[in-house]
Structure 1
Amino acid sequence: MKFKTLISCCLVVFCSTTNFAQSPASFVNPFIGASTSTAAAGVYHGLGKTFPGADVPFGMVQISPNTITGGDNAPGYSYEHTSIEGFAFTQMSGAGWNGDLGNFLVMPTTGKLHTSSGTLKDPVGGYRSGLVKSSEKASAGYYSVSLANKVKAEMTVAPHSGILRFTFPQNKQSRIQIDLARRVGGTSVLQYVKVVNSHAIEGWMKCTPEGGGWGDGEGHADYTVYFHAEFSKPLKNQGVWSADIPDNWGRKLEDVTSAKYQSRIAQAAILKGVKEKHGKHLGFYTEFATKANEVVLMKAGISFVSIEGARNNLAKEITDWNFDGVYKQAVDLWNAALSKVTVDGGSREEKVVFYTAMYHSMLDPRIITDVDGRYPGGDGKPHYSTTFKKRTIFSGWDVFRSQMPLQSIINPGLVNDEINSLISLAQEKGRNYLERWELLNAYSGCMLGNPAVSVIADAYAKGIRGYDMNKAYELSANSVDKFGNGEKGFTPEPLSISYTLEYAYTDWCAAQLAKAAGNMQGYEKYLRRSASYKNIFDESKGWFRPKDKDGNWLPWPSEGRLKQWYGSIESNPYQQGWFVPHDVEGMAKLMGGNAKVIADLENFFDKTPQDMMWNDYYNHANEPVHHVPYLFNRLGAPWLTQKWTRAVCSRAYHNSVEGLVGNEDVGQMSAWYILSAMGLHPVCPGSTRQEITSPVFNKITIKLDSKYAKGKDFTIIAQNNSPQNIYIQSAELNGKPYNNCFIDYKDITAGGTLKLVMGNTPSHTWGVIK
């Protein structure tokens, strides 16, 4: 089933500090990418996997509808689903691998109390409800829907807390129920709840690998969500349900979604009036009679540190029952964050795509520091910091390419936070290396390479240095020594190409950090190892080829370099083989010289399908190729970078549910668009060189952070820009002729104006390497 229709944003009914109809937040459409449909994607990876719920920039809380417990569905939601399980306070954006979070699931219900959620096929068999699809609305900081049970549900949030507004029908048995065991990709394994007064409850939910979650337990996610919740209607008829889960039952995704397990939950004991309970599968409910259109509210703070932290977070952020006031503050936070980049020109759809991409790039890495400065450490103990905010969900393999380079321009303080978070995590866990894909303090080991080393090298090169450089270098060196090509000079099967190329690149990053630390021996060592990519280039095939552990070539497949998973993760050698960002010149020489490489790249793009969905050529749906359009700049054909980045922007991004051709991947897919639409993108994070390309918009103004930049703002003007005039004819930097197809990061942060004169034919002189 296709969902190509445009989804309009919900308009607020009150005024923010800026005119909402003209503010950046007014262009945000959270439904973009909010599908996991494999049928629509044509591949098991699915589509964007975003969620449409309410959130604030980099906040701890996201309240969003959940339609499914697990599968390759981290957000717990997919637009084509026809019923809602509930509204959870924590979500992941744009990832698969069974997902995680989706904790503290709240659902308004009427009639008989159900203790299990039911299924998509049989929603009336549980507490889930159908929805009126036309009523579903989402905007920055807000979500609402009318349910088939006649309840209207609305939600908005603050950074550490959230509030839900339910409008009930006339009913003698209305209810708010909270499934404390619920978790995307599995289950919480242990819960506790206590009624603390006539209007409040608090407790916790422990999530461990035994309960599945991230990677069905292989991601090692181990965390506890603490909560403090308050209700506008007194708790006069409340209770707990408790399912008896045998000790010898498995509790991962396949187990908890089985008919046997769900039957046990459906038969849970209902303990009326119980005010305190520990258990393996608990839920809480409060019942009341309601008049027609009666409004009942619930607000809650969460913490990953303690119940006290959750209580304090709520008390500091949502002091009353003013839902619209909280919503207004959320919109103000979004407008402040999104206004770091302002754009003029372009179509309304392009502005919606751009600001929604900004929005999606500002969800993670989220804060998990409480309002009092305490955060959960990697050692399982509370820690306190006044120098940085602890952040989590570092999707390293994805975000080192575009997301973190983007944040180094618009949110450099966040980059400092993330590096400090990774360093402190390694110290607290007693690990001597950096994690590549961190989730709630877990060393998940997801994907490959050493992306944290790239992020540190990029930050340091750009003057973002608010962390212990000696410790950063030590951990970086340990990382590339532990996970790398080593003196052998390659990494063997099964993913020999991907591993060898990515390790060679992060060896180069480690070399830059060694040089910065004054360790010339380390610099020479890692610089030498950065050339390891050459060791898997087979001259007889003219391409990279995987080796076995003894250094022998693996058999060349009949599909050649188009063979998916042949030495390459989630890709083929044609896609992965372009990843030598630190030595494009050396790569081109191996491949037969610039002219041959340019011709091969043109073939690579020309054979890409029009819709840019998952394919064997330029596969924008996955990260290994994201730098490839910019290789033309390095090879002496910048007009082709301009041509193809504009093509990707127009063909792979749309204002629709299926508006992302691949997984959002925690901000990466969106960050690529933001940078490219502005006309800037790196090939090699760790270098300060930023490639210049054809901007989507006529004028882009970037507000710079005075703590990190000398200038106030940097403006890019594209004169005579249009969908036809995509080629740069000439340029000026601060009023002086500029003929480079790249700009240094320091020239951006110095402030000023880059003026590009556009035309409808390629210029074979501007920006060409002399």
Structure 2
Amino acid sequence: MPLIIRLLWLLIVGILAHSCNAQNYINTTVFDPLKYVNQLIGTDNGGNVFAGATRPYGMAKAVADVDGQNTAGFSTDGRNVTGFSHMHDSGTGGNPSLGNFPLFPQYCPGDEINNCNFLKGARKTSYVRSSVVATPGYFAIELGTGIKAEMTVTEHAALYHFEFPVGANGTGTNPLISLDLTDLNASRQNASVSVDSDGRIKGNGTFLPSFGSGSFISHFCADFQGANIKDTGIWVNNRAGTEPKSIFVTRGINAFYLEAGSFVSFERPANGVISARVGVSFISEEKACRNAETEIPGEKWDFDGIKKSAEEAWREKLSVVSVNATGVNESLVTNFYSAIYRTMMSPQNYTGENPLWQSSEPYYDSFYCIWDAFRSQLPFLTIVNPSTLTEMIRSLLDTYKNVGWLPDCRMSLCKGFTQGGSNADVVLADAFVKNLTSANSTSKIDWRLAYQAVLNDAENEPLD
């Protein structure tokens, strides 16, 4: 019996047999697994866990980014917030991953644009630890400046509410939201951005993966609602202006990292709330805008409806596992469902967002990394989510067809490095002996192709 299954059985038996003398008993009259997901477990002390808003296996992952333990964006280590970005990975080691094109809300002292701080190191601010709220599909936080942020997501877009308090003590009265042409790892090679009179910001950049070779291009499209626009423009090296309305930046021959981006300033609305919608894509800026407009439509964006839809998606996934938690300490059930939750964040479903080859097959990315996931997560999914794992295996096989080998690790459209052999072979073998295809008759695995891929891994070694 695989280790993860043994551990889960032991945990379930422990829950069922737990002493009724424990404190904080669970009331099983109405049992909702979402109440027992703690997304902040594992964000500190090297856990590298994504804490923000996501849908199951979703591409859009929104959270506050910090300047401390930020491999997955946010950490409860008490460091400073540097921005709010829309794509992340979870469980990575080494370098931070993604975090492209962060937004940052602020007031410019005296309402003077050049009193604003645009550089990451200058704009960073503390956050109120007690203000952090993280639930499936949702994340909220209050900055030390008093500005509050909450966010939720669809599959390919993030929706933010930034609440600006009334300006005081010379802090300014006109809110400003900037966008930075960077990522968490400052890996940007080049990037471009433009802003129009309606405040729509579009752009793209070439970045490096956090644990692999090659590069990838990411695109975004940001819109704003809730306030009248005062000014728009571009910033470079902590200086800003309303002309020009577009810019292209690169590292240059000396590899100098030029910090730059765009901004929109507003007249503060009566309720102080300004909404930002950010669509993301690996295909084009137009596709990023289309993703946002399709998934978050209308003249008034439905934050509560999108949040509820994300919650229902998670509730459906987590409800396939149920326990009799009568008289059980709540912390044990929280650990249990939080762990299951984390098996369904990545790999991420990038189907329709793969610019590298044309295919009718699913495409999953962020396999971080199969030499770990084959031991526990992926075998667990054969039991609790076989239909999605079937799509992942079809994606692995399609990657083999188009790249030449099964990946051992893959992220951001790039080939990851390899450790300890060809571990995707184990994933295929495990699914085969469990007869995974029969669990999802509408999605067939080509087992002849799978054998060919495994044989190729055994007989042919890539140059790198």
Regarding TM over 0.5, the answer is yes
Match of 1:97 among 87, 94, 97: 94
In structure 1, the residue corresponding to 2:120 is in which secondary structure?
coil
Aligned to 1:178: 179
Measured in 2, the distance between the counterparts of 1:462 and 1:284 equals 52
Give the partner amino acid of 1:165.
Answer: H
Match of 1:388 among 352, 359, 362: 362
Measured in 2, the distance between the counterparts of 1:285 and 1:186 equals 19
Measured in 2, the distance between the counterparts of 1:132 and 1:481 equals 55
Aligned to 2:346: 364
Residues 195, 232 of structure 2: 8 Å contact kept: no
In structure 2, the residue corresponding to 1:422 is in which secondary structure?
helix
In structure 2, the residue corresponding to 1:214 is in which secondary structure?
coil
2:116 counterpart of 1:116: no
Deviation at 1:151, TM superposition (A): 0.5
User: Structure 1: any 5+ residue segments left out of the alignment?
Assistant: 1-18, 38-45, 119-125, 243-266, 485-770
Measured in 2, the distance between the counterparts of 1:275 and 1:160 equals 26
Measured in 2, the distance between the counterparts of 1:197 and 1:57 equals 36
In structure 1, the residue corresponding to 2:436 is in which secondary structure?
coil
Aligned to 1:64: 63
2:130 counterpart of 1:134: yes
Larger gyration radius, structure 1 or structure 2: 1
Match of 1:424 among 366, 374, 398: 398
The 5 Å alignment of 1:138-149 reads 138-149=134-145
2:88 counterpart of 1:87: no
Residues 168, 292 of structure 1: 8 Å contact kept: no
Aligned to 1:619: none
1:160-217 deviations in Å (ceiling 9; x for gaps) = 1110001101232321111122x22232221122225514222212113xxxx514xx
Give the partner amino acid of 1:277.
Answer: I
Match of 1:339 among 319, 325, 328: 319
In structure 2, the residue corresponding to 1:453 is in which secondary structure?
helix
Measured in 1, the distance between the counterparts of 2:279 and 2:131 equals 27
2:29 counterpart of 1:49: no
Measured in 2, the distance between the counterparts of 1:409 and 1:274 equals 55
Measured in 2, the distance between the counterparts of 1:353 and 1:452 equals 28
Measured in 1, the distance between the counterparts of 2:29 and 2:311 equals 9
Match of 2:38 among 29, 37, 53: 29
Residues 78, 129 of structure 2: 8 Å contact kept: no
Match of 2:159 among 157, 163, 166: 163
Measured in 1, the distance between the counterparts of 2:203 and 2:229 equals 16
Measured in 2, the distance between the counterparts of 1:93 and 1:160 equals 17
Match of 1:459 among 431, 447, 462: 431
The 5 Å alignment of 1:301-450 reads 301-320=279-298, 321-345=301-325, 346-369=328-351, 374-377=352-355, 380-381=356-357, 383-385=358-360, 387-429=361-403, 431=404, 433-450=405-422
Residues 221, 440 of structure 1: 8 Å contact kept: no
Larger relative contact order (CA 8 Å, sep ≥ 6): 2
User: Structure 2: any 5+ residue segments left out of the alignment?
Assistant: 1-27, 109-114, 168-172, 251-258, 438-443
Match of 2:275 among 273, 293, 297: 297
Measured in 2, the distance between the counterparts of 1:145 and 1:357 equals 23
Measured in 2, the distance between the counterparts of 1:203 and 1:186 equals 17
Aligned to 2:452: 474
Measured in 2, the distance between the counterparts of 1:463 and 1:308 equals 41
Residues 68, 77 of structure 2: 8 Å contact kept: no
In structure 2, the residue corresponding to 1:91 is in which secondary structure?
coil
In structure 2, the residue corresponding to 1:376 is in which secondary structure?
coil
Measured in 1, the distance between the counterparts of 2:324 and 2:84 equals 36
Measured in 2, the distance between the counterparts of 1:347 and 1:283 equals 49
1:562-608 deviations in Å (ceiling 9; x for gaps) = xxxxxxxxxxxxxxxxxxxxxxxxxxxxxxxxxxxxxxxxxxxxxxx
Residues 400, 455 of structure 1: 8 Å contact kept: yes
Residues 276 and 80 of structure 1: CA distance in aligned 2, closer, same or farther (over 3 Å): same
Between Structure 1 and Structure 2, how many residues are aligned?
405
Give the partner amino acid of 1:27.
Answer: Y
Percent identity, aligned pairs only, is: 29
Give the partner amino acid of 1:410.
Answer: V
1:287-334 deviations in Å (ceiling 9; x for gaps) = 123257411000111111222221221122111322111111111111
1:77-131 deviations in Å (ceiling 9; x for gaps) = 321133211111111112212132111211111123212111xxxxxxx111111
- Root-mean-square deviation (CA, aligned residues, Å) is 2.3
In structure 2, the residue corresponding to 1:175 is in which secondary structure?
strand
The 5 Å alignment of 1:545-624 reads none
Residues 420, 467 of structure 1: 8 Å contact kept: yes
1:35-92 deviations in Å (ceiling 9; x for gaps) = 1x3xxxxxxxx3x21122111111001101111277xx52133211332111111111
Deviation at 1:384, TM superposition (A): 4.4
Give the partner amino acid of 1:33.
Answer: G
Structure 1 runs (4+) deviating above 4 angstroms are none
Deviation at 1:472, TM superposition (A): 1.8
Measured in 2, the distance between the counterparts of 1:318 and 1:189 equals 30
Residues 390 and 198 of structure 1: CA distance in aligned 2, closer, same or farther (over 3 Å): same
Residues 206 and 311 of structure 1: CA distance in aligned 2, closer, same or farther (over 3 Å): same
Deviation at 1:398, TM superposition (A): 0.5
